Structure 1
Amino acid sequence: MTGMDMLNALHIQGDETIAARLEKYNELVMEKNRVMNLTGIKDSGESLIKNVYDSLTVYDARYFPQGGSLLDLGTGAGFPGMILAILRPDMQVVLMDAIRKKLRFIEEAAEILGVSNVTVVHSRAEDAARDGAFRDHFDVVTARAVKSMPVISEWALPFVKKGGIFAAMKGPGAQDELRDASGILSLMGTRLESEKECILPSGEKRVILYLRKNSLTPKRFPRKAGEAERKPIKAVRDKR
C-alpha cells in the first residue's frame, strides 16, 4: 500500500510529497527499529498499515484548525504525531514522551524529511500539564493506545484549551472505556462530540472518540504522578 493509497482510502487530501514523506518515515522507523525498540512490528508493509494508516484514521479536518496547535501525548515512535505533522505542515505539533531516545529518533527523522513544524518534549504528562506553556493550550490532543480512558483522559485533557478537542484512539472496547471515564470527563467539563469507527486493511477495528472540552482545567488536575493509574476516577460519585 502506498502513501497515496492510504490517503485516498481515508478520503484525506494530500499530494505526492506528503505521500512520499509518509512512506519514508515508515522506512526510517523500520531501519531504526533494528537497533532500538520503537515498535513491535518488524515488517515494513505491516507497519504501513498498523502504524501509518492507523495514525491517519484520527484525522478529521473539522478538528484540526488551520495554523492550529497539536499535542501527541505518549508519542512513542511518532504515531500519530509525526504522521499528522507531515500531513499538516501549517500546524505546530508537539510530540511528548517520557522516553528520551525515542524523541531523539523523531528529531533526526524530522530533519531528514524536512519536517520543520515539530517540537519534542521529554516529560511525564503529569509534570508538563502544570507548565503554563502547555496547560489549557492545544487545539487538539491525540493519544494512541495510551492507557485506559479514565487514566489517559486525566493526563490529556489538562493540555486541551477550552473549546478544544481530545481525540482518543481506541479499539473495539471504546464505548465501555468511555462509560468508565464518565467521572473524570464530567469533572473536566468534557463531553463526547462524535466518534468514528474504522476497519484497518488488516481487519482490526479502530474507534476514534472526539471529546470537546468546554471549561478550563480544575486546579487539582492532573493529580500527582502515578495517582491516576492507582486511583482512576471512573464515576461521578468517585469525586475526591
Structure 2
Amino acid sequence: MECVSGGFSEEQFQKACVELQHFGRAGNDWELLMEHEGFNIYRQQDEPTGLYAYKVFGVLDNCLPAVLADVYMDLDYRKQWDDYVEELYEKECNGKTVVYWQVKYPYPMYYRDYVYVRQRRDLDMDGRKILVVLAQSTSVPQIPERSGVVRVNQYKQSLAIESDGKKGSRVFMYYFDNPGGLLPSWLINWATKGSVPLFLKDLANACQNYPRRA
C-alpha cells in the first residue's frame, strides 16, 4: 500500500460509491468480525503485514449525511471530541493541502503521527446523493519525522454516506492502518478490533453535538 503523491482518481471515488450501493455485501474474501449496534464489521488480512483491513456497513440514526460529512472533515471540532488527538492541523505543501495528525498512545508506547491527503466529493449516482471522503498517507519534506514519535506510512480510509430515507445516514467505511514500530501484529489487530466500533460511536455522538448541525 503506497503513499499517494497528489489527488485521488475518479475511479477511487466511484469504488466507494459502489461499496455503498452494495450495502452490507463485503465479498466472499472478507470475514464478518462482529455486529455492533447496527453495524456489520468485516476484515481481510493483509498478507505482507499480517494486519487486517476493515469494511464497515451500518446506519447512524439522527445524523444527516451533510452533518456527518462536515463533522468528519472539521479538524478543529475533532480536537474537541476525540480524546486521542495530540496535534491536528492542515498545511499547504507543494500546492496541495495535507493533514498532520498526532495520536496519543498509552505509556510506554510512542505516540504515532500521520501525514495524509484527503478529499471530499458530493456525487449524484442515478439520483442518489452520495458523499465520499477519501484519505491516504503521503510524504512531504515540510513535515519531517519527529524524534520520539513513530510515523505511520501506511494509512488509508474511505467513507461513503447517503441518506437512510429518514433522519439518518447509511454509511460505508474502509480502513487500513499500519502503526509500525515494534508492536506485534496480534496486538495491533486486537486494539483495532475495539477501536473501530469506538470511533463510530464517538463520531455519532459528535454529530449530535455539532455546533453547525443542520
Task: Identify whether the pair has TM-score above 0.5, normalized to the shorter chain.
Answer: no
Structure number having the greater strand percentage = 2
Scaled by the length of structure 2, the TM-score of the pair is 0.27
* Greater relative contact order structure (CA < 8 Å, 6+ sep): 2
Scaled by the length of structure 1, the TM-score of the pair is 0.24
